Structure 1
Amino acid sequence: MKIIIVGPSHPYRGGIAAFTDRLAAEFVAENVDVELYTFTLQYPSILFPGKTQYSDAPAPNDISIFRRINSINPLTWIKTAKEIKTKNPDIVIFAYWMSFFASCYAKMAKIIKKNKVSRCIGLVHNMMPHEQSILDRLFSPHFVKRMDAFVALSKSVLADVSRLDNKSKPKYFSPHPLYDHYGDKEDKVMAMNSLYMDNNYNYLLFFGLIREYKGLDLLLKAMSDKRLDKYPLKLIVAGEFYEKKEPYLKMIDDLDINDKVIICDKYIPDEEVKNFFNLADMVVQPYKSATQSGVTQIAYHFEKPMLVTDVGGLREIVPNGKVGYVVEAEPSKIAGAICDFYDNERIEYFESNIIEEKKKYEWSKMTETIMKLYNEIK
């Protein structure tokens, strides 16, 4: 069995690249011959709002990574596809998350399948972006047309794929596995000391890139709720701003919560992620729209209760009242859940349930789903 995965990988940073590398590592652990094909240029700088697209972390061990694809140069799509075609892989997995890559992936898949051996599986993080445009609706069907089967990371994404697939190709939902490569669960006070945080406070964590759809404004308004004043509580916002941060800073001033909010405005490197999660009592994702989220799977790995809003696929992976809360995307509802969490000392109950619940999200379940699909289409 030979598998090639096409998509973001080292040296690129971010959740999709981390997923690709971790999936490849799981295949290696299962003695599958796997290679990664990634980008020489992933995004033109004009489309990338962050400071850098690259990670400083070392490359993963025991995985061959080939940087071949320029996302805006079709000649590289053709050349790379021909290279993959000659290797005759049994499966080519395309990691898909935005329509910008639809034409590239569709062209590559069309060429690769001319070898009459390879089957192309779309591993779909998001089918349609959180902020859709007419181009998304125009290009996404091209990707769907060229795939032989699909794995979707949430039921809402699976529904999006089904709407675009007029041939009823095999497709399965397989939930986002744990991000378990950021280190281990450790003592909370030790994590506080590592980040120079005052251990007289309790901490909530908002983690990841800051974009409008993630609802940080809702959480800031919730933090100003007078019901929270009785708790020694601070919110840590850890992540790089992918939009102007001044409106958020102004909101913090206007709400008079400067003493309740700590902003770490940077991309959090892999080696620091564990400290932010280990010190938190609860991870809050007040999203206004979502399909699924890698942040949830980091929280599961570190056995942290979660507060998520009732949008997209988040409710699928955070059982309400068992491992955390699912609430309406309103500041008062978010604040109410935080009050319940501390007033009723839910942390130990949630953490004990998380230990059992997270078993659903082992990486072997993802590879099993991929192999099941392959056996249907080979």
Structure 2
Amino acid sequence: MKIAIVGPAFPYKGGGAHHTTELAHRLVAAGHEVTLESWKAQYPSFLYPGEQTISRPEGVPYPDTRRTLAWYRPDGWIRTGRRLRSFDLVVLVVLSPVQIPAYLGIAYGLGHKAGGPRLVALCHNVLPHERKPYDVPLMRRLLRRTDGALVHSAQQAQLARDLAPGTPVLTAGLPAHLPTPPGGHRIVVPDAEPANHLLFFGMVRPYKGLDVLLRSLAEIDDVTLTVAGEFWGGVEDTRALISSLGLDSRVELRPGYVPADDVPKLFAGADALVLPYRTATASQNVFMAYEHGVPVIATRAGTLADHVREGVDGVLCEPDDAESLTDALKRFYAPGEPARLRAGVKPVDAEPHWELYLDQLLSR
């Protein structure tokens, strides 16, 4: 099958670019001919308050990648669609509604002629966690324009069906697609003494509940925290909350994107990764923690609880509930528990997840 994937790839950073690239590699390994259509300018800078690109690739770039799409060139969107008319399948990787005008331009260029390519929206989020007034009409229009959608949870599938009742929607869990740590999997030491140190990792946005974690941390003694990642709306509100809770000496902030080479050291110093999300669709961070031999403390938001085995390799609590998270932290730090939970951690076998994912993407 001749397949075009339209989405971010290196030099764009983060999970979306990793996923798009890994998907291209996997489809080629399955015997398909794949072109990856990426961006030279994906978003206006005022819509993304951080660094959009990186200078060195993380993982193996896909060789047949074109970087011609730009948010400010609608003529390029239509030309791309026309050029893809000879393909069997065109996959639009949707990370934000900001991409949708370009995707509608590509769809227009593809046309509706008989025998043309099947058009699928691969939605990491059907709608953003923090929504703008234009998000719903844009996503509804895109879904109605496609031949189908692939989403990453049952909740997201229902949301897509509500927006576009006539559009077929398939569901497959988001498979692991992040680079393996240098040297392979981290060695787990079951009887290691806990460091009394936790990690919050990744982009800091309100829906991820860092403020809930800080309030819970203030209720327990002698545990420290590193927060490593870009701050979506700036770091000052978080600094003020830390000071108001008396946590200045216990919380280290590392604002900014964390390069892949720095990730193993961050996880090596942590007893657990904490995911205090208020809402979630799918996250690679559970897989990343397990790849580094680290247990997870997470809320039951979205699909997070599907990947954490309570009392085996992590601890679960209720979302947006500081009291529940405080209880989870106390349970995690019960005598002997950090080492026992660490011993239960196993890296995720991504192969069956990818097999199902490709089956769903390619099905009609």
- Normalising by structure 1, what TM-score? 0.86
Q: Which amino acid aligns with 2:24?
A: A
1:58 aligns with 2:57: yes
1:339 aligns with 2:339: no
Whole-Å separation in 2 of the counterparts to 1:67 and 1:343: 51
Whole-Å separation in 1 of the counterparts to 2:14 and 2:350: 24
Structure 1: runs of 5 or more not aligned = 190-198
Look up the match of 1:239: 229
Asked if the contact 1:237/1:261 (under 8 Å) is kept, the reply is yes
Q: Which amino acid aligns with 1:369?
A: Q
1:204 counterpart (172, 191, 198): 198
SS at match of 1:355: coil
Correspondence list, 1:65-214, <5 A: 65-85=65-85, 88-114=86-112, 116-169=115-168, 171-183=169-181, 184-187=184-187, 201-214=195-208
Whole-Å separation in 1 of the counterparts to 2:134 and 2:83: 29
Shift of 1:168: 4.4
Asked if the contact 1:5/1:92 (under 8 Å) is kept, the reply is yes
Shift of 1:100: 1.5
Shift of 1:58: 3.1
Shift of 1:137: 1.5
Cα 1:156/1:84, change in 2 over 3 Å? same
Look up the match of 1:193: none
1:220 aligns with 2:214: yes
- Larger helix share, 1 or 2: 1
Cα 1:339/1:46, change in 2 over 3 Å? same
Asked if the contact 1:38/1:66 (under 8 Å) is kept, the reply is yes
Whole-Å separation in 2 of the counterparts to 1:320 and 1:187: 22
- C-alpha offsets along residues 189-245 of structure 1, whole Å, 9 cap, x if unaligned? 9xxxxxxxxx983321100111112111111111111xx31x5x3211010111121
Look up the match of 1:195: none
Q: Which amino acid aligns with 2:321?
A: E
Shift of 1:47: 0.9
Cα 1:151/1:300, change in 2 over 3 Å? farther
Shift of 1:307: 1.6
Q: Which amino acid aligns with 2:328?
A: A
Is 140-149 or 295-304 further displaced after alignment? 295-304
Asked if the contact 2:78/2:108 (under 8 Å) is kept, the reply is no
Question: Quick one: percent identity of the two aligned structures?
Answer: 29
- C-alpha offsets along residues 3-49 of structure 1, whole Å, 9 cap, x if unaligned? 21101111111221111112112223333221210112111111111
Is 55-64 or 152-161 further displaced after alignment? 55-64
Look up the match of 1:258: 248
Shift of 1:97: 2.1
Q: Which amino acid aligns with 2:303?
A: G
Whole-Å separation in 2 of the counterparts to 1:119 and 1:47: 31
- Normalising by structure 2, what TM-score? 0.89
Whole-Å separation in 2 of the counterparts to 1:152 and 1:75: 29
Shift of 1:82: 1.4
SS at match of 1:58: coil
Q: Which amino acid aligns with 2:141?
A: H
Asked if the contact 1:69/1:77 (under 8 Å) is kept, the reply is yes
Whole-Å separation in 2 of the counterparts to 1:56 and 1:187: 30
Asked if the contact 1:25/1:63 (under 8 Å) is kept, the reply is no
Correspondence list, 1:3-22, <5 A: 3-22=3-22
Cα 1:67/1:274, change in 2 over 3 Å? same
- C-alpha offsets along residues 325-360 of structure 1, whole Å, 9 cap, x if unaligned? 221222222121111112153345545554386558
- C-alpha offsets along residues 53-73 of structure 1, whole Å, 9 cap, x if unaligned? 111223835531101111232
Q: How many correspondences in the alignment?
A: 356
Asked if the contact 1:155/1:313 (under 8 Å) is kept, the reply is no
Correspondence list, 1:39-50, <5 A: 39-50=39-50
Look up the match of 1:194: none
Shift of 1:160: 1.1
Whole-Å separation in 1 of the counterparts to 2:132 and 2:213: 27
SS at match of 1:167: coil
Cα 1:368/1:278, change in 2 over 3 Å? farther
